[in-house]
Amino acid sequence: MAKRIYAQSVEDVLADQKTDLEGLTTQEVTERTEKYGLNQLSEGKSKSMIQKFFDQFKDFMIIVLIVAALIAASSGEVVDAIIIMLVVVLNAVFGVFQESKAEEAINALKEMSTPNANVKRNGQIEIVKSEHLVPGDIVLLEAGDVIPADLRLTQIASLKIEESALTGESVPVDKSLLLLEDEDAGIGDRHNMAFMNSNVTYGRGEGIVVGTGMDTEVGRIAGMLNSADEMKTPLQENLNQLGKTLTILILIIAVIVFFVGLQNGDNSVIDMLLIAISLAVAAIPEGLPAIVTIILALGTQKMAKRNAIVRKLPAVETLGSTDIIASDKTGTLTLNQMTVEKLFINNELVDADKVETNLDNPLYQVMSFSNDTKQTSEGELIGDPTETALIQYHLDHGLNVTELLAKEPRVAEVPFDSERKLMSTIQKNTDDTFFVAVKGAPDQLLKRVTRYIENGEIKAMTDAQLDHIMANNHDMATQALRVLAFAYRQIDAIPETLDSETVENDLIFAGLVGMIDPERPEAAAAVHEAKKAGIRPLMITGDHRDTAEAIAVRLGIVEAGQHEAIISGSELDDLSDAEFENKVEQYSVYARVSPEHKVRIVKAWQKKNQVVAMTGDGVNDAPALKSADIGIGMGITGTEVSKGASDMVLADDNFATIVFAVKEGRKVFSNIQKSIQYLLSANLGEVLTLFVMTMMGWSILAPVHILWINLVTDTFPAIALGVEPAEKGLMSHKPRGRKSNFFSGGVMPSIIYQGILEGAITLFVYWLALTYPVHMGDKLIHADALTMAFATLGLIQLFHAFNVKSIHGSIFNRNIFKNVTFNWSILASFALLAATILIPGLNKMFHVSHLDIYQWGIVLAGSFSIVVIVEIVKFIQRLFGKNK
């Protein structure tokens, strides 16, 4: 860093960045954005359309086709050469379309998942996308945040930042505001700096943006390693492997066709070479990986519109096989809008709306002080839902919290952490003494209490009083209320060391507050739908066991009185991994657990061969999110760390959105199956037609016939099948299982028999045309027969596309014309196919003849017969329970 900002004072840095601690104005932000650009790392130059177009010609089979065109041209078949090259060019155009469509979808997802930052601007706290930060901005940091830019820290409160990505040091760094005397200090020693993409693990802080985008430490590294990450997804790898296997088989068949054709003596070496090449090119599904990527990308876009932002494409397919949804309660199954319902004050439990409120009472003071809620200029409360509920309660009852905080400001704190479950602040009193405000879990706070206050009188804490307090705590918990305890003490000086031992002791108990976060109205229905789909919902919460049970019963996760289905964190700790794995199927609710327990829950279910989706919003949730088959981050309450570790982010933090995403995942998987079944059965039909015609010594379809059929019938219908609406009853089946693949569920047998059927019907039409000719003369008979075989082989694939709209169910039980994209794709493919026969001049180029009504009738009847036959087969399969 050229200016060595870490060796400058905060005042010098502010002056250098031409800013102040109140932040920039809107005009200054606009000017600096124009000067410095967006706060983004360069991703390298993207390929132009021309580059993408020429990249299509690097494919081995395309090169083979070009060679075939040159051979045809050199042998005098100029028209064939032109048509082959036309197919090559059109194939390249479709390839560019497919690649661009997938890139657009993925880029749209990147845009949706841009992290946010809390920034001071125009004297107010605003939430902006991190890419819009500029040098001079003042950024606020909290535990769980990802540092959005390089910062010079100006304020800290027990701030710790994990910088392993930059320094290799896995232990979080304690930050300080001290100047560094060593101007050549390494990154790991710059304790007054915070670097882009590192993570806040503890405490809070504030800093000045001193570097954005490529002008950051991580940007410098990105500049050295700036290469596009083009790793293929597991799905693409599997499909590529499938393609390689099919290529070998088809090339063997092509060689056989070549030599047998020569042996029959009806075709020249050049003719048979072109036919063999055309057969190989047409039969190999080289476009399948691209089509699958498009289907996945379109699925992610639909999910994004319903607030499920998928960060990794393979997650779409995995979602469809989900067996377990382990969900946090707060904000996902509930509204995350806590409301104060009960108060235990002055040693009695009362309704919150039926008590006189007064800021002179220590309970209301602690509720205000031990609280990180912030209020925007519009009056919106920003912060943890529990804390905002406390402030909202004050505002609803006319208590002036702002005035109280101004009169007795915070001067120190011991931030909350999930281990001790407490938070403390130290406020300065008007008489220069200090007020310690502590809030947290009742069982933890009461361990540190020695006295309690009742109607202004401070009394010694007794066992009987503790029992009384805990009894009221239990009473609220059984009503599904979340209970917080509040205590305080007065001190003359701030301890030199700020920690739990020095601050949170000898406390005076002030009271309990019972709050409720009501379940989402749609959550119970979503839980019911998940269960119907064979998916087991689990609820995970840090709440009291009784609270967890009450909410779980309301949602239908467990039945009333089903106490054995609930386990607490302490009980879980008492179980060994082996014991827990044996009992894991018993539990549906996990109460009073820490984020660390989530990893055990995930692994225990995975040992049962179950596909697990796990939600999380905190820093400590990251390991569980990574361990789960589907890690689901929270878009509203989630930290940037949890979002970064997830496969999917819920923009609305809603459990019902997860169930929708699972449904969409099932639909995507089903549609990919349909596309694969359609493409491979069609290709198999083409291979068998040419193979049998060669073996029988019949006239063989020309290369232009095969290539044109492959071009017009493959791309459009296959992509259109990828956007088919969900089939009826999609969520009434159990998950397909971890070991299933795209050929499971009878798809492979269907591909084989349907491919054979396509070839057989085409060959039958050809034989029929030869046996019962309409025209006289061998030349005319063979020309008509080849034309009818050509038309049948093309049309039968288009009719078969309707069969594939439902792999197992009858197409007559659904609106088969509902998919408008599919309808247009079939019409377009039919028009391109028919044009080669009907348009004068064009039919000569394609070596086909005009057909009369009788011949068209045979072609259409033969092509449509596959619909009837396949529907009969599916009916028999359903009758014997083979398919559902």
Q: Which whole-number Å values give the CA distances from 473 to 144, 346, 466, in the listed order?
A: 30, 14, 10
Residues 634 and 650 sit within 8 Å (Cβ to Cβ): yes
pLDDT band at 641 (very low <50, low <70, confident <90, very high): low
Q: How far apart are alpha carbons 604 and 590 in whole angstroms?
A: 14
Q: What is the pLDDT of residues 590-632, one digit of tens each?
A: 988 877 788 899 999 999 989 999 998 766 677 888 888 898 9
328 is catalytic: yes
φ, ψ dihedrals at 493, nearest 5°: -150, 155
- Distance from C-alpha of 320 to C-alpha of 668, rounded to nearest angstrom: 8
Domains 1-230 and 234-302+662-727+741-879 share a fold: no
Beta bridge partners of 607: none
Burial label for 498, CB within 10 Å (0-12, 13-18, 19+), is middle
Average the pLDDT over each of 282-291, 349-358, 593-602 and give the range with the smallest value. Answer: 282-291
pLDDT in tens, 685-729: 888 888 888 788 787 777 778 778 877 887 788 888 888 888 888
Half-sphere exposure of 76 (CA within 13 A, CB side): 2
- Sequence-distant (6+) residues with CB within 8 A of 300 are 105, 106, 109, 309, 310, 313, 316
Q: What is the pLDDT of residue 113?
A: 43
Strands 199-211 and 612-616 come out as unpaired
Residue type, 428: K
Q: How many angstroms separate the CA atoms of 572 and 459, rounded?
A: 38
Percent of the chain scoring above 70 in pLDDT: 85
Between 459 and 294, whose confidence is greater? 459
Average pLDDT score over the chain: 82
Query: Do 805 and 814 touch, CB atoms closer than 8 A?
Result: yes
pLDDT for the residue numbered 600: 92
- Short-list 329, 324, 326, CA closest to 653: 329
Average pLDDT over residues 293-312: 79
What's the CATH number of domain 234-302+662-727+741-879, 3.40.50.2000, 1.20.1110.10, 1.10.3720.10, 3.40.50.11310?
A: 1.20.1110.10
pLDDT band at 286 (very low <50, low <70, confident <90, very high): low
d(CA 501, CA 422): 12
Residue 114 has pLDDT above 60, yes or no: no
pLDDT of residue 106: 45
Q: Does 227 have pLDDT greater than 50?
A: no
Which percentage of the chain shows pLDDT scores above 90? 33
Question: Do residues 323 and 132 lie in contact, with contact meaning Cβ atoms separated by under 8 Å?
Answer: no
Mean per-residue pLDDT for 474-485? Answer: 86
From 215, 328, 546, 653, active-site residue:
328
Would you call 748 exposed, middle or buried from its count of C-beta atoms within 10 A (0-12, 13-18, 19+)?
middle
What are the structure tokens assigned to 110, written together?
Answer: 């990147």
Which of the pair, 130 or 813, is modelled with greater confidence?
A: 130
pLDDT tens, position by position, 480-523: 788 999 999 999 999 988 899 999 999 999 999 998 877 888 99
**Strand ranges for 297-375 from DSSP E:** 308-310, 324-328, 339-345, 348-351, 374-375
Q: Quick one: how far is CA 323 from the chain centroid?
A: 17
Q: Which two tokens stand for residue 882?
A: 């083979």
**Which sequence spans correspond to the domains of the chain?**
1-230, 234-302+662-727+741-879, 308-334+520-653, 341-516
Strand, coil or helix: 258: helix
- Return the amino acid letter for 173: V
**Count of other CB atoms within 10 angstroms of residue 419:** 11
Indicate the angle between helix axes 288-305 and 78-112, nearest 10 degrees: 30
Handedness of CA 844, 848, 851, 857 (dihedral sign): negative
Amino acid (1-letter code) at residue 319: L
User: CB under 8 Å to 700, separation ≥6 — which residues?
Assistant: 261, 267, 275, 690, 693, 694
Residue 267 CA to residue 116 CA, distance in Å, equals 68
> Which of 596, 597, 600, 602 has its CA nearest to residue 614?
602
What is d(CA 555, CA 527) in angstroms, rounded to the nearest whole number?
A: 7
- Two tokens at 691? 């193979």
Q: What is the largest CA-CA distance in the chain?
A: 118
Q: What three-state secondary structure class fits 24? A: strand
Partner residues linked to 548 by β-bridges = none
pLDDT of 320 higher than 80? yes
**pLDDT band for position 167 (50/70/90)?**
low
CATH class, range 1-230: mainly beta
Q: CA nearest 317: which of 791, 744, 753, 761?
A: 744
pLDDT value of residue 169: 58
Average pLDDT in the 251-279 region?
Answer: 74
Q: How many CB atoms lie within 10 A of CB 467?
A: 10
Q: Is the pLDDT of residue 55 over 90?
A: no
As to burial, measured by CB atoms within 10 angstroms (0-12 exposed, 13-18 middle, 19+ buried), residue 177 is: middle
Cβ atoms of 332 and 744 closer than 8 Å: no
Q: Which helix (H) or strand (E) holds 770?
A: helix 747-771
CA distance readout (Å), 508 to 413, 453, 491, 661: 18, 7, 12, 49
Question: How many other CB atoms sit within 10 Å of the CB of residue 169?
Answer: 12
- pTM metric for this prediction: 0.65
Which pLDDT score is estimated for 266?
65
pLDDT value of position 178: 85
Reading the block at residue 560, the tokens are 């009333």
How large is the average pLDDT for residues 1-20? Answer: 82
**For the chain, how are helix, strand and coil distributed in percent, rounded to 5?**
50, 15, 30
Residue written as token pair 């000086």: 493
Confidence of residue 102 (pLDDT cuts 50, 70, 90): very low
Class of domain 308-334+520-653: alpha beta
pLDDT > 80? residue 170: no
Contact 555, 519 (CB under 8 A): yes
Task: Mark 432-455 as b/e (b = at least 16 C-beta within 10 Å).
Answer: eebbbbbbbbbebbbebbeebbee
Q: What pLDDT was estimated at residue 229?
A: 39
Phi, psi of 160 (to 5 degrees): -130, 135
Residue located via tokens 């990574």:
626
User: Which of the following CATH numbers is that of domain 341-516: 3.40.50.300, 1.10.630.10, 3.40.1110.10, 3.40.640.10?
Assistant: 3.40.1110.10
The half-sphere exposure of 603 on its side-chain side, counting CA atoms within 13 A, is 14
